[in-house]
Amino acid sequence: MNLPWLTILTFVPLFGGIVVAGLGAEQRRLARGLALAFSLVGLAGALCLWKHFDAASGDLQFVEKHDWVPSLGIQYFLGVDGLSLLMVMLTAIVTPLAVLASGSMFDGKAGSLLAIHRSPLPAAGGVRGDGAHGVARPTQGGAHIFYALMLWLQAGLFGTFTALNFFHWFLFWELVLIPAFFLIKLWGGPKRGPAATQFFIYTMVGSVTLLLSFLAIRLATGSFDFIELADMAKRGEITAKLGEAIGWKAHIGLLVFFGAFLGFAVKVPVVPFHTWLPSAYAEAPGPVTMLLTGVMSKMGVYGFLRVLLPIFPEQIRLVLTPLMWLAVLTIVLSACAAFAQRDLKRILAYSSINHLGYCLLALFAVTGAATGVNQPELQKAAALNGVLLQMFNHGLTASALFLFVWLIEKRSGGLRGLEDFGGIRKVVPVFTGLMGIALFSSLGLPGLNGFVGEFLIFKGVFPLAPWAAALSTLGLLVTAIFLLTLIQRVFCGPLNGRWAQMPDLTLSERALVAVPIALMFVLGIWPQLVLGVIDLTVVKMVQQLNF
Amino acid sequence: MTWIAQNLWLIPVLPLAASGVIAVNKQRQHKLAATLAIGSMVLAFLLSLCAFSATLIHHGESGVFREVAGFNWLQFGGQWLQLGWVLDPLTAIMLVMVSFVSLLIFIFSVGYMAHDENFTRFFCFMSLFAAAMLGVVIANNLLLFFVCWEIVGLTSYLLIGFWYHKPSAAAAAKKAFITTRIGDLGLLLGMVWLYAETGTLNFYADGHGCLESSALTAMVTHMTAAGMAVSTAIGLLIFLGAVGKSGQLPLHVWLPDAMEGPTPVSALIHAATMVAAGVFLVARVYPLMSAHPEGAAAETAALQVVTWVGALTAIFAASVAVAQTDIKRILAYSTVSQLGYMMLGLGVGGVAVGMFHLITHAFFKALLFLGSGSVIHGCHEEQDVRKMGGLKKFMPVTFATYAIGMLALAGFPLFFSGFWSKDEILHAAHGWPVSHIPFFLGCAGALLTAFYMTRQVALVFFGEYRSSGRQSAHSSSKTDKHEKSAPTHVGGYDGKGEPHESPAVMIVPLVILAVFAILLGFVGTPAWPWFDGFLNGEPAGFNFSKLTESGTLGLMLASAGFVFTGLGLGWWLYGKRQRKTAEEPDVLQVAQPAVFRLLENKYFVDEIYDATGVRFNAWAAQACDFLDRWIWGGVVMLVTWVTLGLSSLYRFTDEFVVDLGFDTGCETLREGGGEMSRWQNGRVQTYLRVIGVALVVLVLFLIWGRKT
């Protein structure tokens, strides 16, 4: 059948959100059930795409292309290749997990949406670490709105990962921002207000410069089509046309590039455009953080891969060395900063920046001219495969880790400081074991998913930029230090008497975390499952960059 | 291809499966866990014997017997990355050693860990360790090697921190993982570099492997920065991994702390097998380390580094061991020192020399550690040698086997394996053309080894038991420290606090290991260098005259001289005049307080690292945090304030300039409008009145105009 599968996929959660939003404030269980059902339909759709995707071709598939506003070069243009498919899959996996994890947020008596603002912070009392905020508030209202926003977020992500015309894509890119903002603003921790605002403004500034850059490109080339623009860039036409259309030939290309770069750099984030991230991740409620780190942070890297690399390769080469330094700084500084944090969520937030830093490192390295390198295309293919794998793996692992922190917050009444626990392995052995697996996956232990991506990145980047690869290993070391410190402080040592009654994971919680943990093992042992699907896409991307 | 080479993967997979099954089963099923772990190790051992006999059968046919098999693992850029395993003499001998020693230690652990509440978890981790270690041994691919190597590191971390409620154990586990990871990052870089240079990570692949001549020739001639051949640079990076894992200077600091783990763990992982993995790595990539252009000296820069690091570690750790008081720490430093000997052997003499010492050491060091476990167990979790003494009469079997292990480690001439393997290393070091210093360091180390082992044995087994009077109070104070290890004692705790012999399940492995500690030496004597020939694929014959050749004999006599000096000194200082109480200072401490303090504190290496590396890391973390909060965050705040300021300015202009003007204008207009509106108030009379007045005025005007 020739149905518009991608449109359907995007509209299922969009429609689901409308349905859920229409429920009454009292129908909390129904809202959650419906949200889960719609996200599972999304998962089923993504699985169908995965199954019918022809891995023997690196081309765009399931393409839908219709004129929208022809006079402005705006088209309704959807399609997936290995990269998009992988990201769609990640979104489809993480969203139902986040919906399931949010179950406890709306237990107890319901309130209206307004009640959220009035609800006092819980008096968790007792020792309160620097970053230990009361978060798990059992009586919160607005379940229907919460779940509608979650679904819209998912729809926005699906749209972002499948759209291929700038205008269309930008619409979804911004659409993601709005539910995310409200999810942090309405259901976040005590400092949610500033965190949400900072998050919104930061991303908005990036979006504005991105939009300006693309308006300039539209003015010069008459096209919004990513594929067409990439072809032009390969022929070296974009810079020339920009010069003709706007003037200031020497620098206009770079200026336009920086505008677009800022848009993506904020989203990934690249140091020093990252300061919104730790507070946004820390203040957002656990399930929302899962989506933020699991999928939204991939939007930036996706943007780099889909937009920046194919359209601005010339400009990237011009400023390659500073960009490589930025990537190295992102890796090392964020790892060091993570070591200084005292709030589990902030530690993981910085760790998240660090992990995406490896993606940046590889992204910039593959854009270089690679003169005098043995088999440059193979190295680039390794690095880019590593990037894609790392994106997926990080989405899986980081959202699992935030899920674990969420579960621990539920048990501690919102405490989540590094020093608030101690020795709890004795009372929650299963929790410790499973979270330990996730932590070691994040640390890059071979046999779990994190390793393969990092290995491929280093394998590819080392011949292309040995110094950057060597410096970046510092990030691997510091990551080991802070993650093991986390294990040591939280789980080992004498049991903190306060938690002597802490309950271990319930059966349903075990079932919930079993999904990401199982995937970690599967992808660690059999990475070909993903690589087989993305490799030809990557080969095509490398050819695109090869001129 | 032989059946066993095809199915070599079974050997690590069996314990791996056992570990998985134990992990998902209930914690209480002790019997199941022990049966699975030991059963899988028995099978792995039998398969290893199978592999070993296959290499024996094909030995000497044409060069080194070597069969490889592999599978496609993942794909990038249209190319497959292949993983695989190799069966050659090096693999075979390690397989047999690892599976056999592991098996014995598993059996010993059944007794030692019998009362630990985490018994099943222990066997789960141990099986996982055995699987990973066997994986390291069979890997024919540096990536697979690295994967298994890291999992070995993980199990080491888990087992050191097995008694996680002890802060010292948790800290030691973390230290071990991080220190070895520093080395592993070097290994990772070496690996990706090797991959980039040769396009493959397979060691052997019918001439296309990265350790085979075509790849090596290319790397030898390709120069990198500072005039170093690529092969040397890669070799050094890989060696960094070995330094971390094998506790060589300067990354040795984790190994003594690793003794926080249960004693069987120390025996298996931190003495016999895992720490030897670094030595095995160097032996595995030896063709790369020793690759040199035609005509150049065979002592490549990489091998020279290996030699020097090994020699320095050997003497450094031996000297520290002299001043330690914890029975396990003495053995730990002795392990570091012996690993240094192995590296020295690899550097100066090649694979066979280093590997021979690795194999003999594995047996006698496992024996010593298990013996110390038996002692600790018998003395109710006491580890301080000053508080022991006279155990000879309480634990005769332990004493006899421990003595054999000690003599083997000290290198007692002719009858013990350690003598032959160490002699071979010293012999090779003597013939090393670059420098004689490593040889002298090795000899001094041999003397010190004999000395500190005599000291230990004299303090533990001879004299009077120094702790019996205070036993009850003592054991209660120790219980909370070792709460998990043995809440009640196996083998009949007699209540009087006297030490006791351990049960048979612990004694039997000791005896078996003791037998091997003696016998193994005879496969590598100068008269019958079978081991050498086996690894190099050459036949070896008996030749007794080799023993009496002047060079060989002279060195043997010299090394025997050093050993006897060490033994004699040790006995004179510690055996003849036994210390009376546990508290009195050490003889050396009285004689040389400053030196003793230096040694006792392990040359203050930990303190130096704390003051530099650890502090730097903490500083860097604070700096990055500061950067984030105040510099990057500050810029954001600045932008915020500027924006807010501008907004306020706009507001001010809006409210007080624009709005005010606008309002005034509006007011005027409004008033004007109000004024105007009076004219249209809708009162007809007024309108008529105005019209009337206007008419009158008009008429008057017209009349006035007519007149003129």
Query: Could you give the dihedral angle defined by the CA atoms of residues A259, A260, A264 and A269, in that order, rounded to the nearest 10 degrees?
Result: -30
Q: Binning pLDDT at 50, 70 and 90, where does residue B241 land?
A: very high
Interface touch B196/A446, C-beta < 8 Å: no
Q: Partners of A65 in the beta sheet?
A: A77
Interface touch B178/A484, C-beta < 8 Å: yes
Given a cut of 90, whether residue B149 has pLDDT beyond it is: yes
For residues A225-235, one letter each, b for 16 or more C-beta atoms within 10 angstroms of the residue's C-beta and e for the rest, the string is bbbbbbebbbe
Interface touch B74/A380, C-beta < 8 Å: no
Contact (CB, 8 A) for B273 and B225:
no
pLDDT of res. B492:
40
Using the Cβ of B188 and the Cβ atoms of chain A, whether some distance falls under 8 Å is answered with yes
Indicate the residue of B79, B167, B631 with minimum beta-carbon distance to A378. B79
pLDDT of res. B417:
85
For B27-41, the pLDDT digits (tens) are: 778 888 888 899 999
Q: Averaged over A149-164, what is the pLDDT?
A: 91
For A343-387, the pLDDT digits (tens) are: 899 999 999 999 999 999 999 999 887 777 778 888 889 999 999
- Token pair of B304, please? 């020279």
The alpha-carbon gap from B637 to the nearest alpha carbon of chain A, in Å, equals 10
Using the Cβ of B114 and the Cβ atoms of chain A, whether some distance falls under 8 Å is answered with no
For B391-409, the pLDDT digits (tens) are: 888 888 888 888 888 888 8
| Region of residue B239 (left: phi > 0; alpha: psi -120 to 50; beta: else) | alpha
Using the Cβ of B171 and the Cβ atoms of chain A, whether some distance falls under 8 Å is answered with yes
Indicate the residue of A336, A425, A531 with minimum beta-carbon distance to B621. A336
Indicate the residue of B75, B199, B631 with minimum beta-carbon distance to A532. B75
A336 chain-B contacts, CB cut-off 8 A: 617, 620-621, 623-625
For B566-623, the pLDDT digits (tens) are: 888 888 888 777 777 777 777 777 777 788 788 888 888 888 888 888 888 888 888 8
| ipTM here | 0.89
**Which of A272-276, B224-228, B298-302 is modeled with the greatest confidence?**
A272-276
- Among B624, B639, B641, B643, pick the best mutation site for testing chain A contact (most A Cβ within 10 A): B624
Query: Could you give the dihedral angle defined by the CA atoms of residues A191, A197, A203 and A208, in that order, rounded to the nearest 10 degrees?
Result: -170
Question: What residue in B sits closest to A481 (Cα-Cα)?
Answer: B178
The alpha-carbon gap from A341 to the nearest alpha carbon of chain B, in Å, equals 8
Q: Is the peptide bond before B487 cis (omega within 30 degrees of 0)?
A: no
Interface touch B76/A535, C-beta < 8 Å: yes
Indicate the residue of A333, A339, A458 with minimum beta-carbon distance to B188. A458
What percent of chain A has pLDDT above 70? 93
Interface touch A477/B182, C-beta < 8 Å: yes
Compute the distance between CA of residue B368 and CA of residue B303 in angstroms, rounded to an integer.
31
B182 chain-A contacts, CB cut-off 8 A: 477
pLDDT of res. A129:
35
Q: Averaged over A247-252, what is the pLDDT?
A: 76
Given a cut of 80, whether residue B96 has pLDDT beyond it is: yes
Q: Binning pLDDT at 50, 70 and 90, where does residue A124 land?
A: very low
User: Which amino acid, residue B589?
Assistant: Q
Given a cut of 60, whether residue A122 has pLDDT beyond it is: no
Question: What residue in B sits closest to A201 (Cα-Cα)?
Answer: B640
Compute the distance between CA of residue B98 and CA of residue B105 in angstroms, rounded to an integer.
10
Question: What residue in A sits closest to B23 (Cα-Cα)?
Answer: A433
Number of domains in chain A: 1
Interface touch A340/B150, C-beta < 8 Å: no
Indicate the residue of B77, B193, B622 with minimum beta-carbon distance to A378. B77
Given a cut of 70, whether residue A174 has pLDDT beyond it is: yes
Given a cut of 80, whether residue B54 has pLDDT beyond it is: yes
Interface touch A378/B151, C-beta < 8 Å: no
Contact (CB, 8 A) for B222 and B229:
yes
Interface touch A492/B143, C-beta < 8 Å: no
For B114-132, the pLDDT digits (tens) are: 888 888 888 999 999 999 9
Given a cut of 70, whether residue B469 has pLDDT beyond it is: no
User: Which amino acid, residue B458?
Assistant: A
For A384-436, the pLDDT digits (tens) are: 999 999 999 999 999 999 999 998 888 888 788 888 888 888 888 889 999 99
pLDDT of res. B486:
42
Interface touch A447/B188, C-beta < 8 Å: no
Interface touch A531/B75, C-beta < 8 Å: yes
Interface touch A274/B632, C-beta < 8 Å: yes
User: Which amino acid, residue A522?
Assistant: V
SS3 A135: coil
For B614-661, the pLDDT digits (tens) are: 888 888 888 888 888 888 778 878 888 888 899 888 888 888 888 888
Interface touch A337/B628, C-beta < 8 Å: yes
pLDDT of res. B177:
92
pLDDT of res. A218:
86
Question: Is A42 exposed, middle or buried (CB count within 10 Å of its CB: 0-12, 13-18, 19+)?
Answer: buried
pLDDT of res. B550:
67
Q: Binning pLDDT at 50, 70 and 90, where does residue B694 land?
A: very high
Given a cut of 50, whether residue A110 has pLDDT beyond it is: no
Given a cut of 60, whether residue A135 has pLDDT beyond it is: no
SS3 B200: coil
B9 chain-A contacts, CB cut-off 8 A: none
User: Which amino acid, residue B584?
Assistant: E
Reduced 3-state DSSP string for A55-99: CCCCCCEEEEEEEEEHHHCEEEEEEECHHHHHHHHHHHHHHHHHH
Range of the domain at A475: 5-544
Q: Averaged over A125-142, what is the pLDDT?
A: 44
User: Which amino acid, residue B447?
Assistant: L
What percent of chain B has pLDDT above 70? 94
Compute the distance between CA of residue A20 and CA of residue B71 in angstroms, rounded to an integer.
50
Question: What residue in A sits closest to B153 (Cα-Cα)?
Answer: A445
pLDDT of res. B678:
78
Neighbours of B698 (CB within 10 A): 10
The alpha-carbon gap from B492 to the nearest alpha carbon of chain A, in Å, equals 30
H/E element, A433: helix A429-443
Closest CA to A207 of A253, A247, A243, A172: A172
Given a cut of 90, whether residue B663 has pLDDT beyond it is: no
Mean pLDDT of chain B: 83
Interface touch A440/B193, C-beta < 8 Å: no
User: Which amino acid, residue B423?
Assistant: D
Interface touch B181/A480, C-beta < 8 Å: yes
Given a cut of 70, whether residue B483 has pLDDT beyond it is: no
pLDDT of res. A403:
92
The alpha-carbon gap from A144 to the nearest alpha carbon of chain B, in Å, equals 34
Q: Binning pLDDT at 50, 70 and 90, where does residue A43 land?
A: very high
Question: What residue in A sits closest to B149 (Cα-Cα)?
Answer: A446
